[in-house]
Amino acid sequence: MYKRFLIAIALIALVSCTGNKSAFDPSNVADAAKNEVTRVEPLSWWVGMKAPLQLLIQGENISEYELSIEGGSGVSVKEIHKADNPNFIFADITIADNAQPGTYYLLFTKGDKCIKYQYQIDTRREGSAERKSFSTADMIYLIMPDRFANGETSNDSTDDTADKYARNELFGRHGGDIQGIIDHLDYIASIGATAIWSTPLLEDNQPEHSYHGYACTDYYHIDSRFGDNELYCKMVEEAHKRDLKIIMDIVPNHCGSAHWWMQDTPFDDWYHKFDTYTGSNICFSSNMDPNASKKDLYIQESGWFDKSMVDMNLNNPYTLKYFELWAIWWIEYANLDGFRVDTYPYNEKEPMAEWCKTIMEEYPNFNIVGECWTASIPQLAYWQGGNDNKDGFNSNLPSIMDFPLRDAIAAALPNNNPGWGQGMTAVYDILSHDFVYHDLSKMMIFAGNHDTDRIGDVVKKDPARLKIANVLLATMRGYPQVFAGDELMFVSCDLGMGHGGLRVDFPGGWPGDKMNLFTEEGRKAATKNTDGLDVPKGQADELLKHFTTLFQWRKGKEVIHNGKTMHFITRDNTYAFFRYNDTDKVFVYINNSLEPKQIPWDYYSEINEGLGEGREVVSGEKMTITSETVVAPKSAIVVEY
């Protein structure tokens, strides 16, 4: 039933205002075109929502019109707010709990003229407010759609978008789309993923470099080169059939310079303006530093992310409300399971705390993870909601991305001769700071994503160390995220080209690809190629089997989801830890050195007492560990008891 208001189509007609059913007056057609209502957002709404509805309405001199509502009962105009621009009004709409779902009409009247605009008020899905979200039980598979799979070649370039198909260019559009994701949902589910985080799919109509989607130009419509709103909803439905959750990547901090409102802006302070281009100083510490100047904080949160990415002013209450309702609309409309928020600390922190609070009040079980890219553990902890911050600030943001752990893994794994505090000791050290965090279960852990170096590049194309990375992600606290292709050790096609080089296409996702890594046959035949794979023949499939075994096992392992951690320090590039609860234990031993290592089993006596025979998870074989047990160089064991 949600398809019928996919894009809340406006039916605009000029009628006499002497009565709602009066005849059309053809003499006023020219005025109707001149005063046409060009935009109403959100596109639709529902009965029973907690967040009050405020409509952004755009139309030439629309502020000169009176607004009323015609249709069923229980829906009315509460208050009209005029913007700085006469082409906009913001209308507070009251929807009673007993309002009738259905089609309503916004009636804009001026003298004897009336513009009639269709608006849908619908019924919510059963249990929508109580929807569950992603958690420690999940493994999140990160997809950059343009580089994943091209399921519909007819939309590679579209008439309504500027940046055209150019697969031969690293920063061009390669043609991946929503249909390509749908076509490979079975593959994603088969490798142990339980959730998908896709980089933004909303319209990004920038003239160039639009493939990544982070410069949105229309917050309510899917980019036509990816598909449309209906196809996006189909993707969510198909994912749910396979027990895959969908996490939407959203960007309230900035829009693209080609966004429609840059030509017709509601308020002078809708976004941040400077006499000359001013980028953010990226000084996140100014948010919590007691010594920071107000000027530094202002430039940090108000400076633009990039010359093509306009910084939104969330201190404007109408801008903030717009982004609150937009986020809620997509959750309700597309039946989403979570959000990932890009560039979280770049936003004004108090308005964003209100943004999070509004969403969590509407959906108490929802999860939102923020990209708070900092190597400082105290600064990262500051952004997690509920943290005991000295200044009393509460972000209300449930989850954070664990960049310090990612940095430690990236530094440790390729290190053959670590000095003091280096190698696997660096990973130990990061977890020793867990006392700083408010909620360890609400932390996304990862070895790489679309913005960092590929883990395959980090481990210098060493399959053994890639497997160690996978063991860490599958067994440590928090919930893991894996970038598409890392399960097969994708590497950058050109390390010197940054993002364009590491965001390689997934071989087999395009018609005519010579190699198909989505299939077992293709993986067994795969070898080095220019598309970003660099493994000996047959090893891609062996890597995937190792990966799949770990993450399929993890799905049902409660002690990994919510158990405690006890770890043990060494200085020989090894790392040992237990995950445990009242009934189960899992032992993990990492030998990242170039020599065989005996497990110092007696050293772990405070937790391993009574542990006899266990099962090594990857091999499936029974295993009894003693102080004579040897672990091969650059390898790991995971033993469950």
Say if residues 574 and 590 touch (Cβ distance below 8 Å).
yes
Beta bridge partners, 522, equal none
What is the rounded distance in angstroms from the CA atom of residue 406 to the CA atom of residue 448? 7
At residue 109, the 3 state secondary structure works out as strand
What token pair was written down for 39? Answer: 């935009």
Q: How many C-beta atoms surround the C-beta of residue 65 within 10 A?
A: 21
Is 616 known to be catalytic? no
Backbone angles phi, psi at 410, to 5 degrees: -65, -35
Give CA–CA dist 427/273, Å, rounded.
43
Question: Is residue 437 within a helix (H) or strand (E), and if so which, with residue range?
Answer: none
Angle at 568 between CA 567 and CA 573, to 5 degrees: 115
Length of the chain: 641
SS (H, E, C) 541-576: HHHHHHHHHHHHHHHCCHHHHHCEEEEECCCCCEEE
* Beta carbons within 8 Å of 545's beta carbon, 6+ residues apart: none
Q: Using alpha carbons only, give the angle 383, 385, 388 rounded to the nearest 5 degrees.
A: 85
- Nearest residue to 634 (alpha-carbon basis) of 604, 603, 589: 589
| Catalytic pick among 41, 163, 342, 487 | 342
The residue annotated as part of the active site, out of 223, 324, 371, 486, is 371
How many beta carbons lie within 10 A of that of residue 158, not counting itself? 16
Q: What is the CA radius of gyration of the chain?
A: 27
Query: Does the annotation mark 324 as catalytic?
Result: no
Q: Angle CA(52)–CA(53)–CA(57) in degrees, nearest 5?
A: 150
* Residue of 313, 201, 212, 220 lying closest to 259 (CA atoms): 220
Could you give the 3-state DSSP secondary structure of residue 514? coil
- The C-alpha angle 11, 13, 18, rounded to 5 degrees, equals 130
* Amino acid letter for position 288: M
Helices (H), 335-423: 349-362, 377-382, 403-412
Positions marked active-site? 342, 371
